Amino acid sequence: MYTLLSGLYKYMFQRDEYCILILGLDNAGKTTFLEQTKTRFNKNYKGMSLSKITTTVGLNIGTIDVGKTRLMFWDLGGQEELQSLWDKYYAESHGVIYVIDSTDEERLSESKRAFEKMITSEALEGVPILVLANKQDVETCLSIPDIKTAFSDCINKIGKRDCLTQACSALTGKGVNEGIEWMVKCVVRNIHRPPRKKDIT
Ligand SMILES: Nc1nc2c(ncn2[C@@H]2O[C@H](COP(=O)(O)OP(=O)(O)O)[C@@H](O)[C@H]2O)c(=O)[nH]1
Ligand SMILES: [Mg+2]
């Protein structure tokens, strides 16, 4: 009887919570993506003006609910000296969103190096990765095939995990819902990292 009631309580009042890291070089659009996501998924959220976002030093946190799934985002600073802090968060995370600035060809190889270092980290084994080719609203930006070619020697390091490259504009919101919905599906079915159980508040 107790099991039945506690199961019912959990069904009614608990939600599965997943931690998602938002990584990528500084200026890639991570914080803009987080604000855009919160604006789209939280009905009453009045976000800051996207054009007024400034460099992140430290960490931005945001939460969205998609049905009974709660995603908690950690948007970490991407400057070189802050990248060394990323791996402190790996063991806690259920998914990674890696943001690339598709207009910055000059720093593409730097972004690839940071990506490679991240995906080869043992603490992230099996964790789904959404690669966002951001700033696709800029006409002269690199295309998805261009970016996939530049990142091609990372492919065999991705291992057994879900990985999707999604064209996106954090500024206009294009591709944001598709990316988030994909991530929700992946974390929910990933049996290697159980969610945290949280009472609905
Ligand atoms: N055109 C365009 N600019 C963007 C987009 N996303 C971010 N930006 C701009 O890129 C700059 C850096 O964005 P920010 O979110 O602070 O990057 P972060 O350092 O990765 O958090 C800002 O000037 C943003 O307005 C996008 O999708 N399109
Ligand atoms: Mg930022």
Pocket test for ligand 1, best of 26, 34, 40, 53 (most atoms within 8 A of CB): 53
**Cα distance between residue 19 and residue 72, in whole Å:** 5
What is the arithmetic mean of pLDDT over 145-173?
A: 94
Count how many Cα atoms sit within 13 Å of the Cα of residue 88 in the half-sphere of its side chain: 9
Residue 5: which pLDDT band, with cuts at 50, 70 and 90?
confident
27 is in an annotated binding site: yes
Average of per-residue pLDDT values in the chain: 90
In angstroms, how far is CA 128 from the centroid of its own chain?
9
In angstroms, how far is CA 115 from the centroid of its own chain?
13
56 is in an annotated binding site: yes
Specify the pLDDT at position 183. 98
Pick the CATH number of 12-193 from 1.10.10.10, 3.40.50.300, 2.60.40.1930, 3.40.1350.10: 3.40.50.300
**Cα distance between residue 94 and residue 90, in whole Å:** 8
Nearest CA to ligand 1 atom 25: 51
Sign of the dihedral through C-alpha 167, 168, 169, 175: positive
Angle at CA of residue 119, ends 90 and 91, nearest 5°: 15
Nearest-atom number in ligand 1 for the CA of 99 is: 20
State both tokens at 86: 């990323």
pTM: 0.92
**Cα distance between residue 198 and residue 201, in whole Å:** 9
State both tokens at 117: 């270092």
What is the arithmetic mean of pLDDT over 51-73?
A: 86
Residue 23: which pLDDT band, with cuts at 50, 70 and 90?
very high
Q: What is the Å distance from ligand 2's center to 87 Cα?
A: 17
β-pairing, 69-76 vs 14-23, is: parallel
Residue 120 has pLDDT above 90, yes or no: yes
Q: What percent of the chain has pLDDT over 70?
A: 97
Of the listed ranges 7-11, 15-19, 111-115, 142-146, the least confidently predicted one is 7-11
